[in-house]
Structure 1
Amino acid sequence: MGEKVDLERKEKFGIILPIVLISYFLILLNNSLIFTSTVKISAELQMNNLMVAWIINAYALTFGGLLAFSARLGDIIGRKKTLLTGLIIFSIASLLVGMSQSAMMIISMRALQGIGASLLAPATLALLMDNYQGEQLNRAIAYYGATAGIGASLGMIIGGMIASYISWRAGFHLDLIVCIFLIIMSVLGITNQKATHGTKIDWWGTITLVIGFSGLVYSLNGSSYRLVAFIIAIVTLTIFGYIESKVEHPLMPLVVFKDNQRISALISRFFMLGASMSYFFLMPQALQRVFEFTPLMASISFLPLTVIQFIVSLYIPRLTARFSNTSVLISGVVVDTLGFVLGNVIGINSGYWWGVAFPMIFLGMGQGLIIGPATVAGVAGTSDEIAGAASGVVNTFQQIGGAVGLAFISAMVNGLNGADVIIDQAQFWMVVLAIIMTVAAINILRGKHE
């Protein structure tokens, strides 16, 4: 009898949870395809390191810059329409990325993919909240978190296999196939749409946010007019702040930034993603060029990081219950920084096991300890009215932080010769970003200040 009840409970998940988990894995796989294929893409399309970095940055900027807008759009027109729109855009962009014959085309289509992903991510999470409650919702979120851990490892390996034995283009054709499968599932399976047509969209806030952060990233690793881009970034981000203080339904309510714990966690997460995104982008290239690994071997070489991160993340609820969320977060940033320091001090020329795998153990532990607690701290103490907006701010800071960090470090190593020299110097700058991350996390101890 008990087994029958458990079976019925599991069946209640229906098709919504598979749609959400496959969509999330699609986003993870998409990033992994880039991480493992940059060497072949740069050779085939004749792109230098700064141009290749824009393949990541273009995606992250549209993804992060439009997340809050897309979440609000989902509230207005409904989750199903938003999800389907995101899937259609993502599928078209994936096809065109795979067909790209120039740097401009692949960068532009990656930006289009980011627009699709910005619609997908909040819509899928909202579907979880709309369709599940209580213990079932907790289990669904647990599966979502497990997908993040498993997807990071599996995505890297799948991307490595495709790049090694077929073509990097085939990976994006796989994206297209998954998108078509998800579109069919969504059309047939999603019936619950919640929409609140009275809510307004902060159009000018969205436009100035995207222009501001795009200008900032371009000012770091653009090819020309970098000072002009920086001035545009400062002006538009200032205008964005003014708009958010006046508009009725802001993308980023400024009250989110008035609490010391929240702003410290957001800054810490920003620089954590800056260092981590740079590592995931540059280290696979170094492994292929220094050790002559295939893309598959390079992706498997990340298992000490991704597997340990997954395992550690499973223990976060117990650790935070015993030691507090802040204690776990601070421990994580210290361990993560230690991993970057070891990678920089030991150096890649010491060999894979000592110079790469050993530091990866600490990076995996650190990142596993950081992500959950940083998310909790980033939305801590928010009222019901701004809880959704605060969650959007956390995700926006994550994506933009990755883009800005990668742009900064790419600029710092631009012009250096030798893959070993580049990765060792890059890890020095990752240490710098990690130190800022650590200082920001420790600042949480000052307490909450509204």
Structure 2
Amino acid sequence: MRDTDIEVRAARVDFRTVRLAHPLSISGRLIDGFTVAEVGVRVRSRSGQVADGSGASVLSVPWAWPGESADVAARDVVLRRLTEEIAQGAVGSGPADPVALWREQHAHLPVHLGGQAEEAGPIPALAGSLALGALDNALHDAWSRAAGRPAWSMYDESFLSSDLGWLTSTLRGAYPGSFGFDDRRRLPVQHVVGVTDPLDGADGLAGWLDHEQVRHLKIKLTGADPSADARRVADVHELATRHVGRPELAIDPNEGYADGDVAREMLTELAGRWPAARSAVTYLEQPVPRGHDGGQRQMRALAQEVPTLLDEGFTDLSALHDLADRGWSGVVVKAGKGQTPTLLAHAWARATGGWITVQDLTTVGLAFLHSARLVGTLRLSSSHLEYNSRQYAPDGQAELARRHPALTTVRAGAVTVPGITDTGLYGVPDVPGEGRQVPGDLGT
């Protein structure tokens, strides 16, 4: 037990809809908008301190819950209900630290998913992780505010009740903070090149590169034709080389390839015809469908050629146990999945030498601030900030831009994240989304 352990006394969930300025296409699925879930909680610590906390997640249905069983709007309604159910179900939990609270909530997640499944069809674990993530983020924020400290100073044995030996024996005696955190303020921006995004012209990739000088590019591919995909990568590389010098490329087929051999076919053609472009590829993100490892032998061969990261398929920490055996080099973490699983995956990566990087879900506002804080603080294999919202949802950043213009404005290929000057998860006093009334009579 720790004096800083918290009991959840009240919770509130707000939703807002963000419409994209133009659709983002990922492997044939179009995203033209999404819901942002913002959870507020009120907690009381064992020592009697009361504090509020805020957390956000992007409930991206086409990404987290694809399929034809129900339309996107219907599935969005279900995820909203799920988020509210999870948040309200946490009231009365504790006292405990937020990692212990997340373990309790995550263990109960299948019950929540099953409760909504009858009318909507099975809800994927990935969608459930986003619904839980908003609550988890709010609990970390409130926990550290109640303690009067930045959250990033509390991830050790002084404030957490258990080491990470429960996750894997490799981490016995270790805590999330055992591997150190950084304080990077200048964050190189990663620009997404969608499968339908134009390359030339002021409104295309060329215009973005000329204006912002971004060197990190993530290229979305369809996976339908490895040869056409290789040419697309080569075309992006050639244009970027002309405009910004030596770009660094990440490739994201969004589950588009049937197996690891097809992904290798694309890389082989790229290396044979455009070797400079192949040399610029730093990692490959989720090339095969979630739930299907693409053949262990094929995936291990692929990972020997380029770091290959689990993204949509990373829905449970148990996947870390045999990740390398199944042919994966590491994982992608996202702020929307929650602070706790992000911290635990980071500890695993640092302890084992696995790859880890932070990626985006077109985050805006509080969710984007959180994502930037992760990139600036965690010791990542590739430390860049994917910043999709400036391309696809610029109106969604209005409040954050007013409060922190240096974080939302790209200069010389980077943005500047504010220094940690306050308590809480985000480390700044003016957090977007704060000020909402959290209901509940806390008594004395």
Q: If the length of structure 2 is used for normalisation, what is the TM-score?
A: 0.26
Going by fraction, where is helix more abundant, 1 or 2?
1
Greater relative contact order (Cα < 8 A, sep 6+): 1
Going by fraction, where is strand more abundant, 1 or 2?
2
Q: If the length of structure 1 is used for normalisation, what is the TM-score?
A: 0.26
